[in-house]
């Protein structure tokens, strides 16, 4: 079963704090793990992505940590800001089955000012 499990469903963080969203997958054929950010009324947009040959990728305040043996990956948002309030989706894409990307259920993040 190609599935990506995402937690938590919702998250409230104080401004300046660290937001952490976790995802787990089963299919070892997945080899590309993007995170998408969606603001209300907009479509999702790519935030950051990682391939399993590295354990961490950082872009500004956003970091993906990847644990291949545990089949888990997570998004860390450092110094969270009210403008980061959005829904975040983790996703996974495999090396077979065409260009299918499997998305997690999403996490609604609210950063309190």
Q: What is the contact mask toward other proteins in residues 86 to 105, using x (rule: CB under 8 A)?
A: ---x---x-x--xxxxxxxx
CA distance 63 to 49: 9
27 binds other proteins (CB under 8 A): no
85 binds other proteins (CB under 8 A): no
- Nearer to other proteins by Cβ, of 16 and 97: the residue is 97
φ, ψ at 64 (rounded to 5°): -105, 130
For 67, other C-beta atoms within 10 Å of its C-beta total: 12
83 in contact with other proteins (CB under 8 A): no
Nearest to 75 by CA among 1, 2, 3, 4: 4
**Which of 25, 34, 62, 111 contacts other proteins by CB under 8 A?**
34
How far is it, in rounded angstroms, from Cα 21 to Cα 113? 20
CB 77 within 8 A of CB 48: no
Looking at 12-20, 28-36, 63-71, 75-83, which segment touches other proteins (CB under 8 A)? 28-36
Binding site for other proteins (CB under 8 A): 6, 9, 32, 34, 36, 41-46, 49, 51, 89, 93, 95, 98-106
């Amino acid at each position: 079963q190609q599935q990506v499990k995402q937690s938590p469903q919702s998250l409230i963080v104080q401004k300046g704090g660290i937001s952490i969203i976790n995802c787990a997958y089963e299919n070892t054929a997945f080899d590309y793990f993007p995170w998408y950010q969606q603001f209300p009324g907009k479509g999702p947009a790519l935030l950051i992505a990682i391939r399993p040959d590295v354990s961490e990728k950082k872009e500004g305040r956003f970091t993906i940590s990847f644990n291949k043996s545990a089949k888990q990956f997570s998004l860390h948002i450092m110094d969270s800001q009210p403008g980061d309030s959005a829904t975040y989706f983790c996703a996974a894409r495999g090396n077979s089955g065409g260009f299918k990307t499997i998305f997690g259920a999403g996490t609604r993040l609210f950063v309190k000012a």
